[in-house]
Amino acid sequence: AQSVTQLDSQVPVFEEAPVELRCNYSSSVSVYLFWYVQYPNQGLQLLLKYLSGSTLVKGINGFEAEFNKSQTSFHLRKPSVHISDTAEYFCAVSGTSYDKVIFGPGTSLSVIP
């Protein structure tokens, strides 16, 4: 079975500052990794995903994440945040042959003007 830990429940950051949202996972099998974003009063949408290949993946809105197999991490980064990035961010994991996608508890990113 897989599980996901997001170490920070809330992250406040000033506008135009860099941000890193941390995600660690556990799994006994090969995994797919994801970051989803939820804007206020909306459903979730895919931000980026790691399936295979390059460990650095780029997503929408200038976000990127790096898969580190030895540390079982998949941290999300953005070099300069905007007010519009204020949202809830969820890390998720799935076994490559499994039916289920398991989500972490989420990190609330608040961008301060």
Partner 1 sequence: DAGITQSPRHKVTETGTPVTLRCHQTENHRYMYWYRQDPGHGLRLIHYSYGVKDTDKGEVSDGYSVSRSKTEDFLLTLESATSSQTSVYFCAISEGGQRKNEKLFFGSGTQLSVL
Interface positions with partner 1 (CB under 8 A): 6, 9, 32, 36, 42-46, 49, 51, 90, 94, 96, 98-106
Nearer to partner 1, 73 or 94 (CB): 94
Complex with partner 1: residue 5 or 72, whichever CB lies closer: 5
Say if residues 69 and 87 touch (Cβ distance below 8 Å): no
In the complex, least distance from residue 106 CB atom to partner 1, rounded to whole angstroms = 5
- For the chain, the first-to-last Cα distance in angstroms comes to 41
Give backbone dihedrals phi and psi of 102, rounded to 5 degrees, phi first: -105, 130
Write phi, then psi, for 27 (nearest 5 degrees): -165, 145
Q: How far is the CB of 44 from partner 1 (least distance, A)?
A: 5
